[in-house]
């Protein structure tokens, strides 16, 4: 009987913890509901500067890499093949509509080493700072060829090298 009681207590605690995790995620999404949805990619992207397989890692509020944006399909890490074109950056994420970062909204591009839930080798991530309507955000990508991705992305915005020193 003691094993059954212990098992019931453990299962009960697991259910409570999972419920708290779900409540926390729901609350974060509710807090961020004022953040605008990203634009759809335009029909004409202009010349494609490169297609870069790798991962979309996260989008966070600017200068707060511990505050993940959870709304509009930006909340989860996913394999992606990011397209850098003259009009901007297209981030296709399976199961979500494509996210488009217009060239005019990109404020900086910088190599990075860490963001929420992800630490990699020096400069293994690429941060793209941009404005999503009125909200300044930073999106992080882990491209298979980060140097080529940075080279293509800096043609859309200035390269910043001071990102990880903050």
pLDDT of residue 166: 44
What value does the mean pLDDT of the chain take?
Answer: 88
pLDDT of residue 158: 67
User: Higher-confidence residue: 78 or 161?
Assistant: 78
User: Higher-confidence residue: 36 or 161?
Assistant: 36
The two three-digit tokens of residue 141, written as one number = 């990508």
Look at the block and give the residue holding tokens 């991962």: 55
**Is residue 35 pLDDT above 70, yes or no?**
yes
pLDDT of residue 142: 94
pLDDT of residue 120: 83
The two three-digit tokens of residue 64, written as one number = 């707060």
pLDDT of residue 72: 86
Provide the whole-model pTM. Answer: 0.81
The average pLDDT across 53-65 equals 89
Domain boundaries 48-165, corresponding CATH code: 2.30.29.30
Evaluate whether 100 touches 36 at the Cβ level (below 8 Å): no
Closest CA to 72 of 100, 114, 108: 100
The average pLDDT across 105-134 equals 87
The average pLDDT across 81-101 equals 92
Q: What is the 3-state secondary structure (H, E, C) of the chain?
A: CHHHHHHHHHHHHHHHHHHHHHHHHHHHHHHCCCCCCCECCCCCCCCEEEEEEEEEEEEEECCEEEEECCCCCCCCCEEEEEEEECCEEEECCCCCCCEEEEHHHEEEEEEECEECCEECCCCCEEEEEEEECCEEEEEEEEECCHHHHHHHHCCCCCECCCHHHC
Residue 8 burial (C-beta neighbours within 10 Å; 0-12, 13-18, 19+): exposed
To the nearest whole percent, how much of the chain has pLDDT over 90?
A: 52
At residue 160 the predicted structure's pLDDT band, cuts being 50, 70 and 90, is low
């Amino acid at each position: 009987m003691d094993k059954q009681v212990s098992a019931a207590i453990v299962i009960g605690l697991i259910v409570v913890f999972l419920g708290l995790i779900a409540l926390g995620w729901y609350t974060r999404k509710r807090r961020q509901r004022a953040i605008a949805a990203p634009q759809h990619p335009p029909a004409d992207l202009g010349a494609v500067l490169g297609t870069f397989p790798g991962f979309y890692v996260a989008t966070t509020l600017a200068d707060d890499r511990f505050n993940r944006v959870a709304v509009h399909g930006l909340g989860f890490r996913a394999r992606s093949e990011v397209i850098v074109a003259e009009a901007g950056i297209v981030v296709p994420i399976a199961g979500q509509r494509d996210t488009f970062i217009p060239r005019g909204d990109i404020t900086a591009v910088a190599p990075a080493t860490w963001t929420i839930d992800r630490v990699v080798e020096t400069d293994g991530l690429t941060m793209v700072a941009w404005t999503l309507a009125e909200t300044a955000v930073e999106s992080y990508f882990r491209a298979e060829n980060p140097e080529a991705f940075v080279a293509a992305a800096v043609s859309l915005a200035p390269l910043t090298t001071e990102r990880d020193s903050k």
